[in-house]
Amino acid sequence: MTPFEAYKLFIALKNHFTSNYDFFKYNGSVKADVTSFDNRKDKHYFYKLSKHKDPKGFVVANIIADNGKWIGDLFTDKADRLYTEWLKRQQSISYNFQNESNKLLTNFNDNFIVKNGQHPHLLKLYRQGEVSLETMVILDDILSFSSHWKKNIDDTIIWPRINTLMSKYRMFCNYDKFKLRKQLRQLVEHD
């Protein structure tokens, strides 16, 4: 990957998570000018990004953790830690899903109920760091609760931001839906 390609990748991913741009619809393609890239004072960061073993994953991991607003944010110890944590979650997604699903209330449906416009139990678990973004995305993919929450949660700041993040991250989250659906069914039937 060239530094200019790293620049375009960064712009495409940043736009995906911060605007209406769809990384997958446009296959990561963005309008970018080599001349404007060459005139950037921070272009040395894109040289570093181009040498990373997984530039796409590295940028995604930091952007979803709200650490990738500026390319310079990616070259810190925190950015490396966020990437390592994200990579671990990706590599053990079904294991984490099972462990995090065990934190749900015994009466499974109670985790998703919006009472008086307040955050449901599952959303509280996510905000407390007990449930990962990946588990939220998977549960929503299987159960489609976010549309109900969108209509019934009164919060106009926190939930809309999380909902957008889930929606934008969904295509980056790779897992075996059939396997995890079966796993979830067994958990619910067991209780």
State pLDDT tens for residues 115-160. Answer: 999 999 999 999 999 999 999 999 999 999 999 999 999 999 999 9
Condensed to tens digits (0 to 9), the pLDDT of residues 44-61 reads: 999 999 999 999 999 999
Q: What domains, with CATH codes, occur in the chain?
A: 3-90 (1.10.8.60), 92-190 (1.10.220.50)
* Burial of 90 from C-beta contacts in 10 A (0-12 / 13-18 / 19+): middle
Condensed to tens digits (0 to 9), the pLDDT of residues 70-79 reads: 899 899 999 9
Q: In the chain, where does DSSP find H-type helix?
A: 3-18, 34-38, 43-51, 55-64, 77-91, 93-101, 121-127, 133-143, 146-152, 158-169, 177-190
pLDDT at 190 over 80: no
Mean pLDDT across the chain, nearest whole number?
93
> According to the model, what pLDDT value does residue 1 have?
93
Considering the chain, what percentage of its residues have pLDDT values greater than 70?
98
pTM confidence score: 0.90
